[in-house]
Amino acid sequence: MLVGLPSGRPALLSLLWAVAMSSSCLGKSIDEDRNQLLMREKMMQLGGKLVLRREEELANTKLMALKKAELMQAMKTQNFPPSMHFFQAKSLIEKSEVFHILKKMPKGAALHLHDFGILSMDWLVKNATYRPHCHFCFTPRGALQFKFAYPAPPTPAPTQCSEWILLEKYRKELQNVTEFDNSLLRNFTLVTENPDVEYANQDIIWSKFEAIFFTISGLVHYAPVFRDYIFQSLEEFYEDNVLYLELRAMLYPVYELNGTLHGRAWSVRTYKEVASMFAEKHPGFIGVKIIYSDHRFRNVSFIMESVRAAMELRTMFPSTVAGFDLVGHEDTGHSLYEYKEALMIPASRGVKLPYFFHAGETDWQGTSIDRNLLDALILNSTRIGHGFALSKHPAVWANSLKKDIPIEVCPISNQVLKLVSDLRNHPVAVLMATGYPMVVSSDDPAIFGAKGLSYDFYEAFMGIGGMAADLRTLKQLAMNSIKYSALLQSEKETAMETWEERWDKFVADVAGSPQ
């Protein structure tokens, strides 16, 4: 085996000889080293320290066999859903056996969701717009607006909208209602056949994204729809095995048919009432909490008022209002630093107002926007929404790890909103590999054409986690969703018990399934 070494170097030769002789099998010592490294990395990754029960091991073996088969197939065909745009991947994901297991899996809680992006838009088209007294109009820029009113609402100023058209009457005169309903649906989601052509850059897709909220606003803020929207959303998440939700809600005024308006407190009370009514009919359901949110295009004085409103709401509804956040396109909005005067109000008054800031939902490293991550940390954010840029900030990363501040990862949102295209390259892969605390959520699934949490779990499990992620990863993610929720300690214990019961059933089901 020493053949080919240059001669005349007896010392080196004898050393090599000694090494070769001392381990009669050189291959074995390499194997030991790599096994040790592999074991260390396995322990470091998210969920790596969990010890599975025998039945869980069995379920894991079955799950991983399916996962491996799907990954091998993808490597062969070079067709891998997480590396494709979700709009194109969706139908492939639905064929995946791993996806079907993820749907059945008790996922715990969804901690990063926005009020009106969570229920399949079909429901708005098929139910809300079919209710009596629904009117619509077109803004000068071609956006749709809706309003329920009886008698008919006054004609808007032409700079605002066209004349109101009664939908019921309009539909009666149509040749093809299905076609019209499909066009409404296209107004309510970002889904399109050619996303890369239609949405050339982040600004373009963000403006369509915000336009959707503007368009559906008149539907979802109609009191009877508002109530049913909440109930139906809970139903959709419950069916996807999610037992608890935290919603970023703007709490805009809700209106009645006669024009009466309801304020924020009414809306919070309604969330609370609908959630408890839902819980009565759905065993194991835990509830809903609200993170009152305002838009980051508002000026500082406006946000000062919102922070005061948040403190007031939290005093009125301590068990329902969890805290405060700022939402909207980070790149074009105000930075947290610009809002510091407003955001320091609670601390300066000795009031505890938990923050749940969106931060680092950007590709622009080193900009003032990217520094939202620093300020989220300094302002004691309880969790960080997205934290997409966190791995680029080692000092923030280290401190937030020490303070156990989790990030809320929303893979499909990040892809659709053009932060990353191939989800194998999602920067959170690094954080996942080091066991950084995180939860998976779906942001605005209805607007992305997704549903519940399962699609995002699929992307995180198959794409971001790759072959390294297994049942431990999934279990950790589900447990994290309860651990890092805004539930009280006693509520968390109850929630964990409920989740565990369901988890054991799920594990038994997967472990016992024939293969």
Ligand X SMILES: *[C@@H]1O[C@H](CO)[C@@H](O)[C@H](O)[C@H]1NC(C)=O
Give catalytic residues, as residue numbers.
361, 386
- The DSSP call for residue 462 is I
Task: Decide: is 325 part of the binding site for Zn ion (CB under 5 A).
Answer: no
Least Å from the CB of residue 141 to ligand X: 12
Report the chain's terminal Cα–Cα distance, integer Å.
Answer: 47
Distance from C-alpha of 108 to C-alpha of 14, rounded to nearest angstrom:
62
Helix (H, G, I), strand (E, B) or coil at 370: coil
Least Å from the CB of residue 294 to ligand X: 11
Least Å from the CB of residue 448 to Zn ion: 12
Number of residues that bind Zn ion (CB under 5 A): 1
Number of residues that bind ligand X (CB under 6 A): 25
Task: Decide: is 7 part of the binding site for ligand X (CB under 6 A).
Answer: no
Q: Which of residues 56-85 bind ligand X (CB under 6 A)?
A: none
- Contact yes or no for 357/336 (Cβ under 8 A): yes
Shorter beta-carbon distance to ligand X: residue 180 or 337: 180
Binding-site member from 130, 150, 214, 364 for ligand X (CB under 6 A): 130
Binding-site member from 344, 351, 398, 488 for ligand X (CB under 6 A): 344
Which pairs from 160-167 meet CB under 8 Å and 24+ separation? Answer: 161/137, 162/137, 162/138, 163/137, 164/135, 164/136, 164/137, 165/135, 165/136, 165/137, 166/133, 166/134, 166/135, 167/129, 167/130, 167/134, 167/135, 167/136
CA-wise closest residue to 255 among 301, 221, 306, 212: 221
One symbol per residue from 427 to 446: x for binding ligand X (CB under 6 A), - otherwise; what is it? --------------------
Which pairs from 281-286 meet CB under 8 Å and 24+ separation? Answer: 282/234, 282/238, 284/243, 284/498, 284/501, 284/502, 285/234, 285/238, 285/243, 285/244, 286/109, 286/243, 286/244, 286/487, 286/491, 286/494, 286/495, 286/498
**Positive or negative CA dihedral for 389, 395, 400, 402?**
positive
Task: Decide: is 301 part of the binding site for ligand X (CB under 6 A).
Answer: yes
Shorter beta-carbon distance to ligand X: residue 373 or 482: 373
Distance from C-alpha of 421 to C-alpha of 419, rounded to nearest angstrom:
7
One symbol per residue from 416 to 445: x for binding Zn ion (CB under 5 A), - otherwise; what is it? ---------------------------x--
- Residue 178 binds which of Zn ion, ligand X, none (CB < 5-8 A, kind-dependent): ligand X
The two beta strands, 144-148 and 134-138, are antiparallel
- Residue 256 binds which of Zn ion, ligand X, none (CB < 5-8 A, kind-dependent): ligand X
Least Å from the CB of residue 451 to ligand X: 17
Write the Ramachandran bin of 410: left for phi over 0, alpha for psi from -120 to 50, otherwise beta. Answer: beta
Distance from C-alpha of 162 to C-alpha of 138, rounded to nearest angstrom:
5
Task: Decide: is 180 part of the binding site for ligand X (CB under 6 A).
Answer: yes
Residue with tokens 């909490």: 289
One symbol per residue from 354 to 383: x for binding ligand X (CB under 6 A), - otherwise; what is it? -------------------------xx---
Shorter beta-carbon distance to ligand X: residue 136 or 461: 136
Shorter beta-carbon distance to Zn ion: residue 246 or 443: 443
Helix (H, G, I), strand (E, B) or coil at 477: helix
- Residue 443 binds which of ligand X, Zn ion, none (CB < 5-8 A, kind-dependent): Zn ion
Task: Decide: is 53 part of the binding site for ligand X (CB under 6 A).
Answer: no
Binding-site member from 100, 104, 131, 282 for ligand X (CB under 6 A): 131
CA-wise closest residue to 222 among 295, 288, 128: 128
One symbol per residue from 228 to 267: x for binding ligand X (CB under 6 A), - otherwise; what is it? x---x-----------------------x-x-x-------
- Residue 481 binds which of Zn ion, ligand X, none (CB < 5-8 A, kind-dependent): none
One symbol per residue from 197 to 236: x for binding Zn ion (CB under 5 A), - otherwise; what is it? ----------------------------------------
Least Å from the CB of residue 89 to ligand X: 22
Task: Decide: is 212 part of the binding site for ligand X (CB under 6 A).
Answer: no
Distance from C-alpha of 114 to C-alpha of 134, rounded to nearest angstrom:
24
Shorter beta-carbon distance to ligand X: residue 189 or 498: 189
Tokens of 271: 């969330």
Least Å from the CB of residue 142 to ligand X: 8
CA-wise closest residue to 63 among 467, 456, 426: 467
Among the residue ranges 299-307, 406-414, 437-445, 467-475, the one whose residues contact ligand X (CB under 6 A): 299-307
What residues contact residue 276 under an 8 Å CB cut-off, 6+ apart?
287
Under the rule (CB under 5 A), what is the footprint of Zn ion? Answer: 443
What residues make contact with ligand X under the rule CB under 6 A? 127, 130-131, 144, 176, 178-180, 182-184, 186-187, 228, 232, 256, 258, 260, 299, 301-302, 344, 347, 379-380
